[in-house]
Amino acid sequence: MKKYFSLLIALLLINAGVCVQAQTVDKILNSYFENTGGKAKWNKLNSMIMEGKVEAQGQQFPVKMYNQRPNFQRMEMVFQGKTIVQRAYDGKDAWASNPIAGKTVKLPEEQAKELAEDMFEPAYLNYKTKGHKIVLDGKEEIEGTECNKLKLTKKNGDVEYLFFDTESNVLLMQRTTVKQGPSKGTQIDSFMSDYKEVGGLMIPHALTQKMGTNTFTVTMDKITLNSKIDKSLFSFPKKK
């Protein structure tokens, strides 16, 4: 009988701990959404156009990114006066410019799959309905700021980490890993900063990514929300 009660108490304590952690995770996320415009506005966000510049290895290039629900995307840069599509996805085909060959090419299956899984809506928004799981994984200092570290496990098994400022609950960093190619398994730290209000939402206007010894920074000069985007921008160009 004593064993039974001991086991029962242990199970109750475990369940209580899980419930408290779930409440803490939801509290952090709800506070973040409230501080950045509210869940209702985030749920109504259907498209985003970002214009700015990317800086890498001492060079700077104009950049423009188009994103639209559910996972349409296009990123283009201007290099030596020419527009180069770094990547694009229209829900079916993933493609990019090949400057050397002077034409556009479809990307390998692995890269296409990765772009297909790169959804417009953040994984941590409505994460439960998507089948994802998020747990509190302690605290960690990010560039001098104490952060709550959340571990997000997606429905497909992919794992990423989110770091929210413990005081403001603003997202400061996202940690992922390269999923394919020669750099597979390499950690990528994406730092978000310079939050500004756009259409009622607080959106970071600076993103710095660190992968191994490589670092590049994207600075946004203009962000447009919910504007109509011509779907042909995402589509693989037809041969003329």
Domains of the chain: 2-233 (2.50.20.10)
Q: Is 232 within 8 Å of 86 (Cβ atoms)? A: no
Mean pLDDT of 62-85: 95
Dihedral over Cα of 177, 180, 185, 188: its sign: negative
Q: Are 69 and 81 in contact (CB under 8 A)?
A: no
Across the chain, mean pLDDT equals 90
Instruction: Let me know the angle formed at the C-alpha of 166 by 204 and 133, rounded to the nearest 5 degrees.
Output: 80
CB 214 within 8 A of CB 190: no
CA–CA separation, 47 vs 120, rounded Å?
8
Q: Does 196 have pLDDT greater than 90? A: yes
Q: State the CB neighbour count (10 A cutoff) for residue 9.
A: 10
The pLDDT value given to residue 18 = 41
CA distances from 3 to 7, 10, 12, 15 (A): 6, 10, 14, 18
- 52-73 confidence digits (pLDDT tens): 999 988 899 999 999 999 999 9
Give the pLDDT confidence score for residue 101 in this predicted structure.
83
Lowest mean pLDDT among 47-51, 111-115, 159-163: 111-115
- pLDDT digit string, tens, across residues 87-111: 999 999 999 999 888 899 999 998 8
Predicted pLDDT of residue 129: 96
Going by their DSSP bridges, the two strands 187-198 and 171-177 should be labelled as antiparallel
> Tell me: the pLDDT tens digits for 211-229?
999 999 999 999 999 999 9
What is the value of pTM for the model shown?
Answer: 0.88
